[in-house]
């Protein structure tokens, strides 16, 4: 399991990369490992939509299960990674790079403070694994 040191994480396994007021997010390497082979992705939001922290923004289906993806921060959707609609399996191979899902212009940068850093996320995953 790979955990990127420069990202923030949620308890539901989304990651966030903040650059100024723009936040890019997707699901963590741990999450994609749990899902196994991802075969389908559907966005539940569009560019221009406002999302609030905790909103369901996408659905991912794998050969094992379906899972929801939630917005880790609030803001206006400025980009969707449309490539994932054609090759959702990229989430399995490059969860932190080419398989980013959504970019938002954050409405409240302070929401990042409530997210876990890499060390806290690693501990969270270890506790869930038992």
The tens digit of pLDDT for each residue in 22-80 reads 999 999 999 999 999 999 999 999 999 999 999 999 999 999 899 999 999 999 999 99
Looking up residue 56, the CATH number of its domain turns out to be 2.40.50.100
d(CA 76, CA 74): 7
pLDDT for the residue numbered 130: 83
Judged on CB neighbours under 10 Å (0-12, 13-18, 19+), 123 is exposed
Residue 118 in tokens: 């890499």
Judged on CB neighbours under 10 Å (0-12, 13-18, 19+), 122 is middle
126 part of a folded domain? no
Tell me the average pLDDT across 2-18.
97
39 part of a folded domain? yes
Number of domains in the chain: 1
- pTM of the shown model: 0.95
3-state secondary structure 54-100: CCEEEEEEECCCEEEEECCCCEEEEEECCHHHHCCCHHHHCCCCCCC
127 part of a folded domain? no
68 part of a folded domain? yes
1 part of a folded domain? no
3 part of a folded domain? no
For residue 107, what are the domain limits? 9-120
Taking all residues of the chain, what is their mean pLDDT, rounded to a whole number? 96
């Amino acid at each position: 399991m790979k955990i990127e040191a420069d990202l923030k994480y949620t308890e539901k396994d989304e990651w966030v990369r903040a650059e100024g007021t723009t936040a890019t997010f997707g699901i963590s390497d741990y999450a994609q490992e749990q899902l196994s082979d991802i075969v389908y992705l559907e966005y539940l939001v569009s560019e221009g939509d406002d999302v609030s922290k905790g909103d369901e923004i996408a659905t991912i289906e794998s050969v094992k299960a379906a899972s929801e993806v939630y917005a880790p921060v609030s803001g206006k959707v400025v980009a969707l990674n449309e490539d994932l609609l054609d090759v959702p399996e990229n989430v399995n191979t490059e969860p932190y790079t080419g398989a980013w899902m959504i970019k938002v212009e954050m409405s409240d940068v302070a929401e990042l403070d409530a997210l876990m850093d890499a060390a806290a996320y690693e501990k969270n995953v270890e506790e869930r694994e038992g």
